[in-house]
Amino acid sequence: MKTAIIVGSGIAGIASSIRLAVKGYEVKVFEKNTYAGGKLSVFEQDGYRFDAGPSLFTMPQFVEELFVLAGKKPKDYFEYIKHDTACHYFWNDGTTFFAPSKSSELAKKAQEVFGVPEESVLKKLKKAAFINDKVSGLFLEQSLHKIKGFLNKETLVGIANMPRLDLNKSLHQVNEKDFNHPKMVQIFDRFATYNGSSPFQTPGIMGVIPHYEHNVGTFFPKKGMHSITTSLVKLAEDLGVAFHYDEMVEQINYEGKKVKGVQTTKGTYTADLLVSNMDVYYTYHKLLKNFKIPHKTLNRERSSSALIFYWGIQKKFENLDLHNIFFADDYKAEFEAIFKTKQIYNDPTVYIHISSKLLPSDAPENCENWFVMINTPPEGNIDWDVYIEMARENIIKKLSAILKEDISKLIQSESVLEPRTIESKTMSYQGSLYGTSSNSKFSAFLRHPNFSKKLKNLYFVGGSAHPGGGIPLCLLSAKIVAVNVE
């Protein structure tokens, strides 16, 4: 039987183990932490349960596909519901906009609140669907780094439609052209943050992202986001995958131009094939000894990171939902602070995820579990202790003013996750959430490929490799690898 080793048990690593097991490989997964999931993990504190990482669930078909591939019924492992509300939006001037997830209802609401014509919203989302139709097969479901990836109908169709995909304009420029209201522009600008980029730099093709939220829908796992991890680990184990927790890979062993296995903190293991779910930066710098490092690829601009406060709140807020955004007044200045000056912005956009809205057991009675996040620069040369304290004050001040309640008096429990701890826990270089940023029109072509050009049978999955970060894209990176493995 052929053998495979997976370095890291992030969502892409778990998905890779499932796909390789289905192909007949004996698979071992090595994880330095005592738990699986990488950023998609969980913790409990003072009676509150917090999903520690990703909080938005879209494109559930890529999760279900893994169970079907293994000959299992998805509902025997994993269940989710569709959520009718995409997000509740708030501004400092008192404006609120509770956005439905369904496109037709979003269009009606936009006309009612902002005076934006329904047809302009529907046209925008129709364009998003068009972009998805033309490029998903080109960019998301195949490697861009092998010639055969360009010798097919999907690629030719995608290339033929390039002039219509807004590659030569920024996402903000496209949104400003499509809407006559600045707050509607800001709502559609925020989708750039889904891949850790700036709407003022990332190309207009990123206008595809609203398609997944409003044309397809937003969803919520019945047992919380972490159940994506636990259900896939259970599937992998049922297929015979062995998970080695608390066992860090220290070196990838190779001979000549072929991978041979790994050296861990507990022993040496051989394998016919190796998949790294570790950030490609650290895969080269820490695991591949005496190997030529592709500095140009690895030194590209990193995506944004995050500062997250996990707050147990002793009150229920009826005007908050599962997903909530409190916008900065000057969005451009905020992104310039993140990507150019790399400093704290005094009026940050704040995202709050409250899973207890749909899963009441996540918080004590009459309380809520708040996942409070702002986008930040990657680690860099910043005094994070000062940064965190300033940000906390700014966030509490902002939320208290908009919600008309002193939030500081309601915080019963608190934990913090910031770029330094994101990096140490998940080996994400500089704490970047999505590997490299997408702040250029060629970014899709510049990500590290899903395979090594120098070492046979070495593959790469996860947010730092093609096609990018976020749960759906990480799952697709595993699919791309499996397709290319014999």
Instruction: Please report the sign of the dihedral spanned by the C-alpha atoms of residue 257, residue 260, residue 262, residue 267.
Output: negative
CA distance 466 to 473: 8
User: In this predicted structure, what is the pLDDT of residue 243?
Assistant: 98
CA distance 141 to 157: 14
What is the chain's mean pLDDT, rounded?
Answer: 94
User: In this predicted structure, what is the pLDDT of residue 135?
Assistant: 80
The helix (run of H) or strand (run of E) holding residue 234 is helix 226-238
pLDDT, one tens digit per residue, over 283-342 is 999 999 999 999 988 888 999 999 999 999 999 999 999 999 999 999 999 999 999 999
Which of 65-79, 145-159, 357-371 is least confident? 145-159
User: In this predicted structure, what is the pLDDT of residue 486?
Assistant: 75
Instruction: Please report the sign of the dihedral spanned by the C-alpha atoms of residue 55, residue 324, residue 279, residue 32.
Output: negative
Percent of the chain with pLDDT over 70: 95
User: In this predicted structure, what is the pLDDT of residue 161?
Assistant: 62
Which of 1-5, 164-168, 271-275, 291-295 is least confident? 164-168
User: In this predicted structure, what is the pLDDT of residue 445?
Assistant: 67
Spatial contact of 359 and 223, defined as CB atoms under 8 Å apart = yes
Instruction: Please report the sign of the dihedral spanned by the C-alpha atoms of residue 122, residue 328, residue 54, residue 460.
Output: positive
pLDDT, one tens digit per residue, over 425-476 is 999 999 999 998 988 877 766 789 999 989 999 999 999 999 999 999 999 9
Q: 311 in helix, strand or coil?
A: strand
* 212-235 mean pLDDT: 97
Q: Is 215 exposed, middle or buried (0-12, 13-18, 19+ CB in 10 A)?
A: middle
* 225-244 mean pLDDT: 98
User: In this predicted structure, what is the pLDDT of residue 159?
Assistant: 59
Site of tokens 């969005």: 331
CA distance 260 to 271: 6
* Cis preceding-peptide flag for 467 (omega within 30 of 0): yes
- What secondary structure letter does DSSP report for 167? T
- CB-based contacts of 350: which residues, under 8 Å, 6+ apart? 325, 326, 372, 373, 374, 395, 398, 399
Residue 75 pLDDT level (bands cut at 50, 70, 90): very high
* 219-230 mean pLDDT: 98
* 60-69 mean pLDDT: 97
Alpha helices in 340-470 (DSSP H): 384-403, 419-426, 443-446
Distance of CA 72 to the CA centre of its chain: 26
Site of tokens 């049978």: 457
- CB-based contacts of 75: which residues, under 8 Å, 6+ apart? none
User: In this predicted structure, what is the pLDDT of residue 478?
Assistant: 97
pLDDT at 262 over 70: yes
pLDDT at 149 over 70: no
User: In this predicted structure, what is the pLDDT of residue 235?
Assistant: 98
The helix (run of H) or strand (run of E) holding residue 228 is helix 226-238
* 137-152 mean pLDDT: 65
Q: How far apart, in Å, are the Cα atoms of 203 and each of 215, 469, 470? A: 21, 17, 18
Query: How many Cβ atoms sit within 10 Å of the Cβ of residue 411?
Result: 16
Q: How many DSSP H helices and E strands does the chain contain?
A: 16, 19
Instruction: Please report the sign of the dihedral spanned by the C-alpha atoms of residue 111, residue 114, residue 119, residue 121.
Output: negative
Please give the span between the terminal C-alpha atoms of the chain, in angstroms, as a whole number: 13
User: In this predicted structure, what is the pLDDT of residue 385?
Assistant: 93
* 232-259 mean pLDDT: 97
Spatial contact of 238 and 75, defined as CB atoms under 8 Å apart = no
Spatial contact of 460 and 283, defined as CB atoms under 8 Å apart = yes
pLDDT, one tens digit per residue, over 334-388 is 999 999 999 889 999 999 999 999 999 999 999 999 999 999 999 778 899 999 9
User: In this predicted structure, what is the pLDDT of residue 145?
Assistant: 60
